[in-house]
Every structure is written in C-alpha cells, then in structure tokens.
C-alpha cells in the first residue's frame, strides 16, 4: 500500500463526515468483465487477500475484507489512480454507519461506478 499524506486523509475525512443526506452510492452502469476483474485484483492487492477468498458481492467494510473507513478511502483513491477516473464523493458518503460512510458498499457497486466513469470518457 502506498502512503497517503495525512493532510489529504484529514481533508477527505473532514469533507465526508461533514456531508450527509446520502443513503445509497450512485448507481453506475453494469460493469464489463474486464472492469470487474481489474477491480477484484485491486481489492485483493489493497487488502492483501487472495482473489478466491471473496466475491465482488461482499461488502468492502464487511468481515471478509475487514476494511475500515480509511481503507475504503484508500481503495477509492487506488481505483481512481488505476483507471484514471474520478469517482463521485457519494461513493463514500452514506448514512448506513455512524461515521457517515457507505458501510454496505460492495466491490460490484464500485466496479459499476468505475464502468460508468469509463464510459463518460
């Protein structure tokens, strides 16, 4: 995992915690096979797990991957870097957990969002 400057993390968390009113991430579009495969590879690498130990239907912040809010921010940044896109802030903001993050966000939802951004470009 690459280090993230504390200022970026602090600013991102302050922005996200200060925002509210979102309950679901943007819908995106159904992800292509290649996009899903790449997202799964990135998740596996980011959380240091084998690809066959989880599915894209698993919540990122669930028990299988064990991610916390900072891990989710880092994952989104890694996806943006790898695909050279910018995902909407609503990807992270939600009301499903006390922190305001999307506690139920899945790899499939992220893949769909990535696909939607790729199709825009």
pLDDT in tens, 40-59: 999 999 999 999 999 999 99
How many domains, in total, are found in the chain? 1
Q: What CATH number does residue 113 fall under?
A: 1.10.1200.10
Asked if the structure places residue 7 within a domain, the reply is: no
Q: How far apart are CA 103 and CA 108, in angstroms?
A: 14
Asked if the structure places residue 12 within a domain, the reply is: no
Answer for the pair 70, 16: CB distance below 8 angstroms, yes or no.
no
Asked if the structure places residue 90 within a domain, the reply is: yes
**Domain of 84, in residue numbers:** 31-119
Q: Which two tokens stand for residue 28?
A: 């995106």
8 versus 66: which is more confidently predicted?
66
Q: How far apart are CA 89 and CA 40, in angstroms?
A: 21
pLDDT in tens, 80-115: 999 999 988 777 776 544 455 677 889 999 999 999
Q: What is the pTM of this model?
A: 0.72
């Amino acid at each position: 995992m690459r280090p993230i400057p504390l200022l970026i993390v602090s600013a991102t968390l302050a922005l996200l915690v200060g925002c509210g009113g979102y309950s679901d991430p943007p819908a995106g579009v159904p992800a292509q096979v290649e996009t899903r495969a790449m997202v799964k590879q990135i998740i596996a690498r980011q959380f240091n797990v084998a690809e066959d130990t989880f599915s894209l239907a698993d919540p990122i912040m669930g028990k299988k991957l064990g991610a916390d809010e900072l891990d989710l921010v880092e994952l989104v940044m890694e996806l943006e870097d790898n695909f050279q896109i910018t995902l909407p802030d609503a990807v992270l903001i939600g009301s499903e957990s006390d922190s305001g993050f999307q506690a139920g966000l899945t790899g499939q939802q992220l893949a769909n969002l990535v696909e939607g951004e790729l199709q825009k470009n």
